[in-house]
Structure 1
Amino acid sequence: MSSITAGSKRWTSFYAALQAAIQRSTHKWTYEDFQECFSLWCEEEPASSSTVFNTVAQHMESGITNRVDELLAQFSVKDNLDKLHAVVTEAKKRKRAGDAYEGQDLWRENLQPRAAARARTIPLLEKEKDRLQAMLAELDQSNLRLQAEIQAHVKAREDADAEATALLDVLEEVTAKWNEVPMDEIESWTLQTAESLPNSK
């Protein structure tokens, strides 16, 4: 049995029952059932098939036990059952001794269960609500910052696109005007310009 079983009598009984349930569930599939599925192999190699069957059953039991232990530890089941056992044990002792309990959790006949439950749960729920509201406010601020950054990037991209479009329009306009000039005039202007330049020495 796992070391997780060390604890109160109530916890030990609970964990023992849980282990028994795991063992029953993992060994519910008998070797006879296994033989029906793999009849030829079990008939030809009975020793190997029996070993494999036992290995699979043990693996299933070990895997389920480990997962159950993780869940029990995650939700502090052992600690809670130990506390419950201590409370019940103390209450039984007080009842046998006839002692009155003067603590804050004194039960009264006129105390409704709903009122007692609300007194316990509402403060916890309000605390959780405040935590979630703070988290939501932080997320809202983060979203606003991201939105501002995205808008700035979009604006910069739009400005760059507009500038590039304007430059292309100017280039197209210049190209169109250049193409309108007759080739004869271009050649004449080029010749005149070349003749007007001083001869290089």
Structure 2
Amino acid sequence: MPKKVDHQERRTLIADALMRVAAAQGLEAVSLRHVAAAAGVSAGMVQHYFRTKDEMMAFALSVVRERSQARVTDAVARLGDNPPPRRLLRTMLAALLPLDERTRDDGRVALAFLAYTAVRPSAAPRLHEDTAQFTGFIAGLLPDRHGSAAAAGLLALMEGLGVYLLGGQYTTAQALDALDAHLDLLFGASSAA
């Protein structure tokens, strides 16, 4: 009887290997050969599931996206029902920051993907959609006097804090203090609860 193959599991195995290679060595080190070696499979198997590097990268980005969404969902669920908007925003943004080793690997890969899409616009449409949706969601949580420009600024702050955390310029405490200070500017210091 032929062995049943879980194709999604194999694609995820390959994407995880890609992310390990990218997190450790950067995207320029990502190749079918390196990813196959990291996954413990043949280069032919990698090519079977991903015809091109762009396909492999797009799938790995979707895995990072799913992991990020799971972290945010878990963090928000711990807040209970109807958390205040500031607390909800802080929780969501903090969950997206690379604050520990597990999230640093995802953060390195996400940063590498942003650079990758800067030179390959065809790989970026999903990121554009996600960014627009997230900016709109953030804008809906901000006080009325702030709009989408303030939401875009908050998202850019979070991304910048992530870069500084990954580069070691900021500690976790410094990044969270900066996030809190910016939220205080948007919501007022008295809403920090």
TM > 0.5 fold call:
no
| Smaller-chain TM-score bracket | under 0.3
Larger radius of gyration: 1
